[in-house]
Amino acid sequence: MLTMMVVDDEMYALKGITQGIDWSDLPISTILEAENVAQAKKQLLEQQVDLVISDIEMPGANGIELLRQIRELTPNTLVVFLTGHARFEYAQEALHYGCFDYVLKPVDHDVLKDIIRRAVEEIERRKEQQNFENTLEEYRLQWTNQLPILVERFWQDVLIRKIPTSANRLSRELELYNIPLEKDGRALPVLLSIERWEVELDARDESIMEYALRKAATEIILGENSGTILQDRNDLNLVLLYGDSMDRKVLKARCVQYVKACNDYFHCRVSCYMGEAVGIGELSEALERLTQMERANVSQPQTVIDSTQNFEASPGTNGPTLPAFTEWTIMLDSGNIEELVKSIEDTLMRFEEESSSRETLELFYFGFVHLLFQAANRKGISMYDMVSAQEVQDGQHARTPALMQGWATKLLLKVGQTFVDRQRDASAVISKIQLYIQDNLHKELSRDDIANSVYRNPAYLSRLFRKETGLSLSDYIVQVKIEKVKVQLKETNDKISNIAEGLGYLHFSYFAKLFKKVTGVTPQEYRKKHQTML
């Protein structure tokens, strides 16, 4: 409910408004009275006043002076002026200071009440807008507080190739998370290998101590340099230095200092494996190389190993030569099923020639199953929607490379075909959505309307559209509408307001602001510039 104040030095005029008009059908709970500006100011200081009806001509300070004070004290209060003289300078000054409206005396009660009704609607609209902005600011603050976690998730997704490394997609993601890298930027990974705790820890305490080790890496290894510390989806602790400007000798010295600090302060033996600066799309392979170095290092604990220098694996550590599952992951994600089938055939043929052990086949089995489950997870598909649990388990009974090849190929073809079908279905749905939007640009389209047109769940459809196009539905609709407006502005002389209404924009001021936000110029400026060029 709202509070209204009426200010007039004429008592009869004052009472005529406060008592002579029925305000009961408006959301006004309190009506205050003031006979001059001083009384009005006192009440403004004592309580919140949403709306003021004031005479302009009063002895001493007049209504214009009251409006100035209201703008200083309570800038959201709306003011309606009453005046006995139709003087232009009064109206001009009143509008300059932002009065809502003004009425000539003697006041027509119906006219005044209609103005107050509009003022009430404006107050409620502003309050709703303010509530929205407050909510937005609250979520913006939450977003800022959550940004380090979101950045970590971004890099985790990059490392498992869940995020396509196309230039446009990368640019959007890097900008979204405020990561100071360009789409073709480079990052240098350092693998932090926790070899042993010198004290006994349970799982919870170990997680806490690993967090402490990552914080220490931020201070010692990263220091003032731009980058991040994260734990990937396989629980590997990793330093990512943005760019490739840090001198490797300096980096190595910092890693040595970090290894010593972990031993002295955290009772933990750690080694650091320094990679090379690579493009964002190559980080997954770079990390795989570092983990291979880690696996091969059994004789040099608590050390720093630079991948650019020769590193010999310890004698006696040459186990079975397993396939590069990271490369197979790339093939599967890219849809290169035939190439992957050939690679599996070559690998298992080599196993046959080398008379590989049962243990080698088991390692292959678990690695391949892990690859398929990860790929399914990235696509948002349950593995068991593509193959049965029994089909997955059958691989454990494949006792020869030939049987393992048959099992792996069968599963791969099923999974690959499902991925292709899902992608084809998604592309068809997106095309239908885009066509529906093009055919209904004159309407105010909602997400539910669009979802109903293709018989899909609105929330699912919204996620699918953003994933496939990189745009939200609302952003895409705005983009298409603005492009159509630009064509009409260049090629026709239709009134701009008519063009806007033809595309569902009934409030011209909103349309004009939106157009300038998207294009950087007003519709009038755009038409003038492009029609002049023709």
φ, ψ for residue 329, nearest 5 deg: -60, -45
The end-to-end CA distance of the chain, in Å, is 56
- Here the CATH number for the domain that contains residue 214 is 3.30.70.1230
For residues 164 and 282, membership in a common domain is answered with yes
For residues 263 and 188, membership in a common domain is answered with yes
Cα separation, 55 vs 6, whole angstroms: 8
Token duo for residue 526: 């755009």
- 167, part of any domain: yes
Answer for the pair 123, 50: CB distance below 8 angstroms, yes or no. Answer: yes
Burial of 276: CB neighbours in 10 Å, binned 0-12, 13-18, 19+: middle
Residue with tokens 């030095």: 9
Domain that holds residue 275: 160-306
Task: Show which of 273, 306, 339 is a domain's final residue.
Answer: 306
Whether the model pTM is above 0.85: no
The strands making up 51-55's β-sheet, listed across from edge to edge, are 28-34, 2-7, 51-55, 78-83, 101-104
- Here the CATH number for the domain that contains residue 507 is 1.10.10.60
φ, ψ for residue 271, nearest 5 deg: -120, 150
- 445, part of any domain: no
Amino acid identity, position 50: D
Token duo for residue 35: 């006979």
What per-residue confidence (pLDDT) applies to 470? 78
- 149, part of any domain: no
Cα separation, 104 vs 78, whole angstroms: 18
What per-residue confidence (pLDDT) applies to 319? 47
For residues 254 and 358, membership in a common domain is answered with no
For residues 164 and 298, membership in a common domain is answered with yes
For residues 419 and 481, membership in a common domain is answered with no
Per DSSP, which regions of 123-197 are E strands?
Answer: 186-197
Answer for the pair 459, 500: CB distance below 8 angstroms, yes or no. Answer: no
For residues 351 and 471, membership in a common domain is answered with no
DSSP 427-452: HHHHHHHHHHHHHTTTS---HHHHHH
DSSP category for residue 108: P
Question: Could you check whether the bond before residue 106 is cis, i.e. omega within 30 degrees of 0?
Answer: yes
- Here the CATH number for the domain that contains residue 124 is 3.40.50.2300
Token duo for residue 13: 């005029």
For residues 342 and 471, membership in a common domain is answered with no
Cα separation, 192 vs 257, whole angstroms: 13
Parts of the chain with a pLDDT under 70? 85-92, 94-95, 165, 296, 298-299, 310-324, 356, 380, 422-427, 457-460, 463, 532-534
Cα separation, 161 vs 159, whole angstroms: 5
For residues 344 and 279, membership in a common domain is answered with no
- How far is Cα of residue 76 from the mean position of the Cα atoms in its chain? 32
CB burial of 159-176 (b: ≥16 within 10 Å; e: otherwise) equals: bbbbbebeeeebeebbee
Residue with tokens 């040099």: 300
Q: State pLDDT tens for residues 236-277.
A: 899 999 998 889 999 999 999 999 999 999 889 999 999 999
For residues 292 and 351, membership in a common domain is answered with no
Cα distances (angstroms) measured from residue 398 to each of 357, 359, 405: 12, 12, 9
For residues 87 and 171, membership in a common domain is answered with no
- 312, part of any domain: no
The number of folded domains in the chain is: 4
For residues 285 and 170, membership in a common domain is answered with yes
- 97, part of any domain: yes
φ, ψ for residue 14, nearest 5 deg: -65, -50
What per-residue confidence (pLDDT) applies to 318? 46
For residues 185 and 298, membership in a common domain is answered with yes
Q: Which residue, 56, 151, 166, 59, is CA-closest to 107? A: 56
Q: State pLDDT tens for residues 403-438.
A: 889 999 999 898 888 877 766 655 677 888 888 888
